[in-house]
Amino acid sequence: MKNLKEKKIKSENIFNGVLLNVKKDMVELPNGKETVREYIVHPGAVVLVAFLPNGNIILERQFRYPAGEIFIELPAGKIDVGENLEDTAKREMAEETGYHPNNLEYMGKLYPGIGYSDEVIYIYKAYDLEKRNISCDDDEFIEIFDVPFQTAYQMVMDGEIVDAKSMIGIIIVKEKLDL
């Protein structure tokens, strides 16, 4: 295999925002030349394929400002500092859907944007859901609904679900659980 690695020479914080942290590093390329790498530093996230007792899975409609569109997504959310993955999964399920998952099963991971972000998203199957409260937070602006698993899969194939983490979550669960 070729030498492909790049070495950090120096690192600069460009922007520390409410959501985004942007860095700009000077790096040494495998041929000894130097170049600049600009990227997002991200804490990581979880995405959940959450099964109701009737076999339906939970989906969300959410307006996403950067692309200016409403997307259909799986429940998901960022890892808080010091939080383990299963706690993130339980917290995000509760916050976004009002359900507590009594069982979680790890299904794999994905890197959504390796060109300019270090984000990694861990995929979980969530089941034995327990309804703890009905209403989402007033400031979340998420619409929750559920569909049979096969319908969700068809929505991926038909281009109705185009959010990468949701596409992969649904497809990985279909293949691994032979649904």
CB-count exposure of residue 79 (10 Å: 0-12, 13-18, 19+): buried
Q: Which is nearer to a copy of itself, 54 or 138 (CB)?
A: 138
Q: Which residues pair with 48 in a beta bridge?
A: 124
Specify the residue, 54 or 178, whose C-beta has the smaller distance to a copy of itself: 178
Shortest distance (Å) from residue 139 CB to a copy of itself: 7
Q: From the CB of 135, what's the least distance to a copy of itself, in Å?
A: 12
DSSP-derived 3-state class of residue 155 = helix
Sequence-ordered list of residues with C-beta below 8 angstroms from that of 164, at least 6 positions apart, any chain: 110, 112
Query: What are the strands of the beta sheet with 69-73, ordered from one edge?
Result: 69-73, 56-64, 142-148
Distance CA 153, CA 151 (A): 5
Q: Supply the minimum distance, in Å, between the C-beta of residue 122 and a copy of itself.
A: 11
Provide the minimum distance between the beta carbon of 54 and a copy of itself in the complex, in angstroms, as a whole number. 23
Measured from the CB atom, is 30 or 130 closer to a copy of itself? Answer: 30
* C-beta of residue 30 within 8 angstroms of C-beta of residue 2: yes
Contact 101, 89 (CB under 8 A): yes
CB of 104 to a copy of itself, least distance (A): 18
Rank residues 91 and 109 by Cβ distance to a copy of itself and give the closer one.
109
Chain positions contacting a copy of itself, by CB under 8 A: 1-2, 4-6, 14-15, 17-20, 22, 24-25, 27, 29-31, 33, 36-41, 61-68, 70-71, 73, 108-120, 138-139, 141-143, 157, 159, 162-165, 167-168, 171-172, 175-176
Q: Which is nearer to a copy of itself, 93 or 107 (CB)?
A: 107
End-to-end CA distance of the chain, in Å?
Answer: 38
